[in-house]
């Protein structure tokens, strides 16, 4: 569905509708296999979660003296997992081969904006590093606050030698973007369960050369005269994918533009938006939680996606519903904060291992466990990398690689093996719980106002596609017939 709000200056805005989201369900090809406890944790002294790669302007993994770099939100591992967001700091890791990783330490030594720093992206351009991040909280406040703005650090240096990578300052920190109240809701306007203006992601359009910064936000959806209480409540769920442009291509100069896509009355959080371009199509991915869906529609914690023929849209939900990848029903919070990146003719997806040994209805129940058990059930490291085949409007998981496996396109992958993917009864079937409740409960949670599922919904057989892993061939062959992050 596409609308043209008056405030968007006549540009069509894509919308994830309730009818589309009503068809979300676990199917063979969108459920990751159980991961279990990490076989090895390269950094046991740390909680590691949201992670992003250092990329060049073309979106390729940057090479810095023979190393690839990753940036992660981290906290000391002796902290309770649920408390880590309040002390998050950005740390750098590096690897010569995408298998064995070393710790370069915290990126900033004071001076960063906000009371703590949340996820973003990193650009390596002409030997310079630009680290985009979320400045969370007001650093001048005496108490913890949750205001958010989009910031950048630049001016630091990165050095590579036989001993590894060294990142050093001084860094210059600048606020780049704050919500305008017209296209993007301010904290004062927010009526929802949470507020978002975060997760900046640098993207240069290969077709036009235009430079963009995507981010997560909320589209203003105030109460309207004549709305019944149920409709007014649903409009509190107003997540959107925002965008800013740099007319000159300057990584430090940005102007807000209208959202690329919104999910008003569907979902409150479209986290960590990012784009992978394949076969001339633009694949827009976001992460979301079960508890941020509006009443009457729901989906599991998962990676959701949309596809368009241009960055501006119009976007269609992948697989009819938007769900691309999720966790197995016996571990519904196993992984989160998925980030997709192109590898030759396939897409790989990295994430972090969340609560890999917890089958409860809601993460709220974690706090009731003994502290030692909370730590034991939490991964706090990267999860196995997912292999994703993409073909037009459809996607299909094709197995996994090891945790912390981040190959570059010139590094071949082993043959795909999707035999470990859940099937049949292990999928758990259609999800019917109320998203706003944050848990899995039996039975329907309410009617969907927009009517039945879209005609474009892919049925069980056609959704599977089968075939090879190539972006161009993911849907060929015989059918099997069968997601701030917490």
Residues tagged active-site: 50, 271
CA-to-CA separations, 262 to 12, 168, 215, 460, in angstroms, rounded = 11, 39, 12, 27
Tell me how far apart the alpha carbons of residues 317 and 15 are, in angstroms, rounded to a whole number: 9
Going by their DSSP bridges, the two strands 255-262 and 13-15 should be labelled as parallel
DSSP 3-state helix, strand, coil percentages of the chain (rounded to 5)? 10, 40, 50
Measure the CA–CA gap between 111 and 301, rounded to whole angstroms.
34
> Beta-carbon neighbour count of residue 9 at 10 Å?
10
CA–CA distance, 287 with 138 (Å, rounded to integer) = 25
Cβ contacts of residue 289 below 8 Å, gap of 6+? 269, 301, 336, 438, 485, 486
Number of alpha carbons in the 13 Å side-chain half-sphere of residue 320 = 20
Cβ neighbours for 162, distance < 8 A, ≥ 6 positions apart = none
Closest C-alpha among 256, 457, 439 to residue 359: 439
Determine if residue 366 is left, alpha or beta; phi over 0 gives left, psi from -120 to 50 gives alpha, anything else beta. Answer: alpha
CA distance 128 to 395: 35
Whether 181 contacts 220, CB under 8 Å? yes
Report how far Cα 321 is from the mean position of its chain's Cα atoms: 17
197 neighbors 212 (Cβ within 8 angstroms) = no
Q: Residue 32 has what DSSP assignment? A: P
């Amino acid at each position: 569905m596409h609308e043209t709000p008056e405030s968007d200056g006549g540009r069509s805005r894509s919308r994830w509708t309730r009818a589309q989201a009503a068809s979300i369900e676990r199917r063979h090809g969108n459920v990751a296999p159980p991961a279990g406890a990490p076989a090895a944790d390269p950094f046991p002294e740390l909680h590691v979660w949201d992670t992003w790669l250092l990329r060049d302007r073309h979106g390729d993994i940057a090479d810095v003296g023979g190393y690839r770099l990753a940036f992660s939100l981290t906290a000391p591992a002796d902290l309770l997992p649920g408390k880590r967001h309040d002390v998050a700091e950005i740390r750098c890791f590096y690897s010569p081969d995408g298998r064995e990783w070393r710790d370069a330490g915290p990126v900033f030594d004071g001076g960063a904006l906000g009371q703590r720093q949340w996820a973003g992206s990193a650009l390596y351009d002409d030997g310079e590093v630009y680290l985009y991040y979320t400045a969370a909280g007001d650093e001048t406040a005496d108490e913890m606050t949750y205001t958010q703005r989009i910031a950048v650090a630049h001016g630091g240096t990165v050095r590579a030698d036989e001993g590894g990578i060294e990142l050093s300052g001084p860094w210059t920190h600048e606020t780049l973007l704050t919500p305008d109240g017209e296209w993007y809701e301010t904290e004062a306007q927010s009526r929802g369960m949470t507020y978002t203006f975060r997760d900046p992601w640098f993207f240069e359009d290969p077709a036009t050369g235009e430079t963009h910064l995507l981010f997560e936000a909320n589209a203003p959806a105030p109460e309207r005269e004549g709305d019944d209480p149920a409709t007014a409540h649903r409009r509190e769920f107003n997540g959107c994918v925002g965008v800013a442009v740099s007319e000159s291509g300057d990584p430090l100069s940005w102007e807000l533009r209208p959202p690329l896509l919104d999910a008003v009355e569907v979902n409150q959080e479209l986290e960590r938006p990012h784009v992978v371009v394949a076969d001339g199509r633009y694949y827009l991915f976001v992460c979301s939680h079960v508890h941020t869906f509006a009443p009457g529609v729901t989906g599991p914690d998962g990676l959701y996606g949309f596809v368009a023929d241009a960055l501006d849209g119009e976007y269609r939900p992948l697989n009819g519903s938007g769900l691309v990848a999720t966790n197995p029903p016996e571990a519904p919070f196993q992984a989160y904060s998925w980030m997709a990146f192109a590898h030759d003719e396939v897409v790989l997806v990295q994430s972090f291992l969340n609560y890999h040994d917890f089958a409860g209805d809601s993460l709220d129940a974690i706090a009731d466990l003994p502290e030692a058990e909370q730590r034991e059930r939490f991964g706090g490291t990267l999860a196995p990398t997912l292999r994703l085949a993409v073909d037009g409007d459809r996607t299909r998981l094709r197995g996994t690689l090891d945790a912390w496996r981040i190959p570059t396109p010139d590094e071949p992958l082993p043959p795909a093996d999707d035999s470990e993917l859940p099937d049949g009864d292990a999928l758990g079937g259609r999800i019917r719980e109320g998203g706003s409740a944050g848990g899995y409960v039996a039975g329907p949670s309410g009617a969907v106002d927009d009517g039945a599922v879209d005609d474009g919904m892919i049925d069980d057989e056609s959704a599977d596609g089968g075939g090879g892993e190539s972006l161009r061939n993911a849907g060929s062959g015989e059918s099997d017939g069968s997601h701030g992050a917490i």
